[in-house]
Structure 1
Amino acid sequence: MVNVTVVVFTLSGINGTINYRVTLFTFTLLYYCVILFANISLVMIIILNENLHEPMYILLCNFCINGLYGTMGFYPKFLLDLLSSNQEISYGGCLFQAFVMYSYACSDLSILAVMAYDRYLAICRPLHYHSFMTKSRLSQLVCFSWFTPFCVFSINVLLTSRLKLCGSKIQRLFCVNWVIVKLACPDNDTFSNSVIAYITIFIYVSHGLFIIWTYMHLIKKCARSKEDRVKFMQTCVPHLTSLITFLVAIVFDLMYMRFGSKDLPQSLQNLITIEFLLIPPVMNPLIYGFKLTKIRDRILGLVGIKK
């Protein structure tokens, strides 16, 4: 295959929507507004209320900010593509979008791991909670949840940018690092990319194993006490719901990207690839807003409903 100098990529995943783009644009815009409203509202409620300046709520605030960050990398470009006759993106823009998508997904998992650690300390080590979860420790954990994926995927994108490409067509709605790597010419050395990919997998599988470990201890502890069971249902069930939803969406996308059939209808392919951008960003603020008592009471107070 002849090497080509790629200036722009073509996103072909949107081709199947040509007959109902205006309708899809309208619903997508409304849905994105819901995402913005739900997440920004929860962030502002936590920031403006000092009694919510506790580790659990600060971590939730970061969780919602990350949701805004990730959806910002997809929805504005997708909305523009729906109104455009050419669904193109520059090489630099594609790499940047790939970076945002991956760092968003992995930051979500990092924050969920830190939230699991926070719940483990609060329920299993309540007497030591405040000595462990100090402001300094909380700041370190928040920085870890953002800094680790940003560093890992900066290296990923940097290595990808050095590859010579022999294609420019991406059969998705947005850019993904692995898909760009697959467009590399056969004479490229992609060994470094593979090594970093395996390191990344190891890091985030470790995150998942850590979350499983914390929940094993949480369930064991809560089984002994009615008070702990109530605390688990109130604060851990939303976290567990967010975790399961996120993992199912991500695993579906990763499995399809690596092993999926191209014979599936384009609309179904699109749904699989954007599931992690559809469900978690709306579900997370809603489930935490209704389940956590302090936030729910504050929301009811804002709309004039007294408890």
Structure 2
Amino acid sequence: MTHFVARIVLIKEMENSTEVVSFVLSAYGDIGNLKYLYFSIILLWYIFICTTNTILIVVIYMDRGLHEPMYLLLCHLFMNEISTSMSLYPLLLSQMFSDTHEVILPWCFLQMFCFFIFSCVELCSLTAMAYDRYVCICYPLQYNVLMSNKRVGKIILLVWIYSFTSYMFSFSFVIPLTFCGNVIDKVFCDQQFVVKLACSVSALTSISDLFFGFMSLILPFSLISFSYMKILWVCLIVSKESKQKVITTCTPQIVSLSNIFVGATFHFVGSRLDVVFLPDKVRIVLSIYLHILQPIITPFMYGIYLPKIRQSCKRLLFGRK
């Protein structure tokens, strides 16, 4: 611990005369022999995330009966969960055995880029899935025309273009910043904390951050809310049997969205407000809450809750009908 603190002090003394080439993730602190326990837990959790999502991707690929718009969108969502986890867990694992917890600036920027792009893709994918359910339930006779597999491919491409351009506008203002500090009180490179370390921040940087927040959170949530309000209206006038089918197909998305809303709230509060009244370990867990639970909630809700995928899993994995 003494070595870790001394290094931070040394860097702080030199920061006015040298260019910052790396950041120190101070939230790790000195975890001593607990690093072996933390490493084992994180590694097993990471393997579990990758395994469950990969299994469902393979199931959808192998079962031609699942080659429908809804399940193709799901397959894309599972792939994104793996990609999102890859933007966080490898760094967590490597930092467990580091004495300095340093991340060079290019790698820190790369993590920020992947972290926020994949997060934006997640919400946009759920928006596309909400639209798919909206068309299926509100316009069932036109569903095959409005939501063909070819159109799903275009929607997925649009999701990536939208997410990339939305974040690049904000990220382009962060790249040229010069930094007068290098200590980030988190276990990963968070853009808000990185910007706080800049020697000076222009108004455009703050505006671009608000713009990304609107494009990646507020707009998708608004479109999803509109879709489910329409679906809810249909539920009030359809038969009991149809209503049950609607609830079955929409529940996983509602659970996922609720978890994302909670996780986004934790991230927003932790990044922008002073929450020193919380214990350090609680703040760390809340900062990565979304990337701990969401990659598991997604395959659990869609892989186990939806009957068609559940039956396909039993048939392909265990040979059961």
Structure 1 residue aligned with 2:236: 223
Is 1:123 the counterpart of 2:137 in the alignment? yes
2:316 matches 1:302: yes
1:208 and 2:221 aligned: yes
Counterpart secondary structure, 1:9 = strand
In the alignment, structure 1 residue 265 sits paired with structure 2 residue 272:
no
Pick from 68, 73, 88 the counterpart of residue 87 of structure 2: 73
Deviation at 1:263, TM superposition (A): 3.5
Q: Kindly tell me: are residues 18 and 254 of structure 1, through their superposed partners in 2, closer, same or farther at Cα, counting changes over 3 Å?
A: farther
- Structure 2, gaps ≥5 residues long: 1-14
**Whole-Å Cα distance in 2 between the matches of residues 217 and 179 of structure 1?**
39
Distance 1:64 1:137 in 2: 19
Q: What one-letter code is carried by the residue in structure 2 that aligns with 1:205?
A: I
Greater shift, 279-288 or 130-139, is seen at: 130-139
1:239-277 per-residue CA deviation (whole Å, 9 max, x = no partner) reads 111111111111111122111312421101101100011
Match of 2:44 in 1: 30
Q: Offset of 1:145 from its aligned partner?
A: 1.6
The separation in 2 between residues aligned to 1:118 and 1:3, in whole angstroms, is 56
CA distance in 2, matches of 1:208, 1:276: 16
What is the CA–CA distance in structure 1 between the aligned matches of 2:201 and 2:301, rounded to whole Å?
A: 46
The TM-score, its normalising length taken from structure 1, stands at: 0.95
**C-alpha distance in 2, partners of 1:217/1:264?**
40
Is the CA contact 1:16–1:266 (under 8 Å) kept in the aligned structure 2? no
Q: Which runs of 5+ in 1 are unaligned?
A: none
Stretch of structure 1 that moved more, 3-12 or 86-95: 3-12
* In structure 2, distance between residues paired with 1:119 and 1:107: 18
2:7 aligned partner = none
The answer on whether the counterparts of 2:195 and 2:201 sit within 8 Å (CA) in structure 1 is: no
Q: TM-score, normalised by structure 2?
A: 0.91
Correspondence 1:37-186 to 2 at 5 A: 37-185=51-199
Deviation at 1:2, TM superposition (A): 3.2
Deviates more, 1:289-298 or 1:11-20: 11-20
What is the identity percentage for the equivalent residue pairs of Structure 1 and Structure 2? Answer: 30
AA in 1 matched with 2:218: V
Alignment partner of 1:18: what SS? coil
Q: Distance in 2 between matches of 1:95 and 1:138?
A: 31
Question: Is 1:282 matched with 2:296?
Answer: yes
- Checking the alignment, whether the CA contact within 8 Å between 2:24 and 2:184 is kept in structure 1 is yes
Distance in 2 (CA, whole Å) between partners of 1:172 and 1:3 is 25
2:8 alignment partner in structure 1:
none
Q: Write out per-residue CA displacement over residues 171-207 of structure 1, whole angstroms, 9 at most, x where no aligned residue.
A: 000001121111111xx34222122112222223121
Aligned to 1:195: 207
CA drift at 1:94: 0.5
Alpha-carbon spacing, 1:46–1:90, altered in 2? closer, same or farther (3 Å)? same
Q: Could you tell me whether the CA contact under 8 Å between 2:170 and 2:211 is conserved in 1?
A: no
Whole-angstrom CA distance in 2 between matches of 1:261 and 1:73: 25
Change (3 A) 1:48 1:260: farther
- Give the letter for the 2:207 counterpart: V
CA contact (8 A) 2:170 2:212 kept: no
1:149 to partner: Cα distance: 1.5
Aligned mates of 2:148, 2:55 — CA distance in 1? 26
Post-superposition CA distance 1:195-220 (Å, at most 9, x none): 21122222231211111111111111
Task: Determine if the alignment matches structure 1 residue 247 to structure 2 residue 261.
Answer: yes
